[in-house]
Amino acid sequence: MGKSNNWGVLLGAAFLMATSAVGPGFLTQTTVFTQALGASFGFVILTSIILDIGAQLNVWRVIAVSEKRAQDIANMVLPGLGVFIALLIVLGGFAFNIGNIGGAGLGFNVLFGLSAEAGAVVAAAIAIGIFLVREAKKVMDRFAQIMGLLLILLMVYVAFTSAPPLAEAAVKTILPDKVDFTAIITLVGGTVGGYITFAGGHRLLDAGIKGKAALPQVNRSAVSGITIASVIRVFLFLAALGVVSKGLLLDESNPPASVFQLAAGNIGYKIFGVVMLSAAITSVIGSAYTSVSFVKSFSPVLEKYENWLIIGFILISTVVFVTIGKPVHLLILAGALNGLILPVTLGTILWAAHKQKVVGDYKHPLILTIFGALVVVVMAWMGGYTLAQQMPALFE
């Protein structure tokens, strides 16, 4: 693989991870937390970026060195664990994909006045179209890059027009008025929880970027992915902060849309449509691709029909959304499950990082192990707490 081709894949993996993270939930969370915490939300973003990088580097490095996907690594650590993790990832990815499809439908609704259901069908058709192309993975890489760049440009514009108090944001990012642990955990779970951690790592493996020699490239791609997602989050935070600091009230039914509208008027509202559509459709693609990458290694037949499995995953998510709508409790439960998936998967990866039969003579950096263990403990505690809170609502 040539240098330029290599760079395209590294960038594609970074953007796939970032745009998988930036979905409808990401837009809503960022806006709601900015409204609640004001400039102090900057501290939450900074902390979550550090934790995200720690989680991401651990996972991507071990996948590269072992030259195996996460589920196969898990089965080597403990027989059957890989199947369990694959099941968790696919269920979480499926539940979130229903929300992503709904978000794409909302984007079409804002832009063209289509019903959310009709918009969801159009979005699904675009996503499926990518996997019908012969060079589907290259098209997926390019699509993620274009959409990611579009998101950044639009966020910068809206942040600029909302004129946020930059000095206050800078100070309170370092010295917040209060620290909200729930917000930190939600952001970490939303950026590197569930399937998202593995989106780029599995993509690099598919492209043949693996082994100890590839670690510098893997590191660069992993950090780039978090950086892209974080740049989008920071500018969305600044846009929302500019609106909130002027004392303007956000519409509770759709907080991110009102940020864009209050910051830049009708143009802002249309920009929100483009942002929501771009964020949602790239998350649909990332979720479907990564969820299927967790089962395809279990059988040569699954490997052979990978693209058709991805298409089926998108189709079923769309049918559920159009017929049932967005089951709120299911999505909340999926969020908590995604928070719980990260400690299970990251814990397994850290365990594998120190097993010779998985990584050979590779020595995993101690600082990354400590960092990863910290993320595992914090996310397990918070995921369990959220799950305990949500469970009774499901049985009412």
Residue type, 297: S
The secondary structure of residue 281, as a DSSP letter, is H
Query: pLDDT at residue 82 above 60?
Result: yes
Q: How many CB atoms lie within 10 A of CB 53?
A: 20
What are the helix and strand counts (H, E) for the chain? Answer: 17, 0
**At residue 396, does pLDDT exceed 70?**
no
pLDDT of res. 6: 81
Q: At which residue do the structure tokens 């004392």 appear? A: 247
Give the span between the Cα atoms of 8 and 124, in whole angstroms. Answer: 25
Considering only CA atoms, which of 378, 293, 304 is closest in space to residue 70? 293
pLDDT beyond 60 at 3: no
**Residues contacting 182, CB < 8 A, separation 6+:** 382
pLDDT of 332 over the 70 cut: no
Rounded Cα distance, 27 and 271, in Å: 13
Which amino acid is it at 233? R
Residue 236 has what pLDDT? Answer: 95
Residue 372, classified by CB atoms within 10 Å of its CB into exposed (0-12), middle (13-18) or buried (19+), is buried
Residues 6+ apart with CB under 8 A from 210: 63, 64, 65, 67, 204
pLDDT tens readout for residues 174-206: 999 998 887 888 888 888 888 898 999 999 999
- pLDDT value of residue 331: 58
- List the domain boundaries for the chain: 10-94+135-254+326-394
Q: Running DSSP on this structure, what letter comes out for residue 268?
A: H
- Rounded to whole angstroms, the Cα distance separating 185 from 206 reads 30
User: Is pLDDT above 60 for 4?
Assistant: no
CA–CA dist 255, 248 (Å, integer)? 12
Other C-beta atoms lying within 10 Å of the C-beta of residue 132? 11
- Range picked from 31-45, 240-254, 336-350 for highest mean pLDDT: 31-45
pLDDT digits (tens, 9 = 90+) for 83-112: 999 998 998 888 889 989 999 999 999 999
Secondary structure letter of residue 133 according to DSSP: S
Tokens coding 93: 């990815």
Percentage of the chain lying above the pLDDT 70 cut: 92
Angle 187-191-195 (CA atoms, 0-180°, nearest 5)?
Answer: 130
Band the pLDDT of 291: cuts 50, 70, 90: very high
Alpha helices by DSSP H, listed for 245-327, are 255-293, 300-304, 306-324
Distance of CA 192 to the CA centre of its chain: 6
Tokens 């500019």 correspond to 242
CA-to-CA separations, 13 to 141, 143, 203, 342, in angstroms, rounded: 7, 11, 6, 19
pLDDT of residue 190: 81
pLDDT at site 128: 97
Query: Nearest-CA neighbor of 31 among 237, 276, 275, 246?
Result: 237
Is the pLDDT confidence value at 394 over 70?
no
Mean pLDDT of 249-263: 91
Q: What angle do CA 267, 104, 132 make, to 5 degrees?
A: 125
The pLDDT of residue 276 is above 70: yes
Tell me the mean pLDDT in the region 29-35: 92
Q: What is the mean pLDDT of the chain?
A: 90
**Angle between helix 24-37 and 41-66 (nearest 10):** 150
Count CB atoms within 10 A of the CB of residue 266: 9
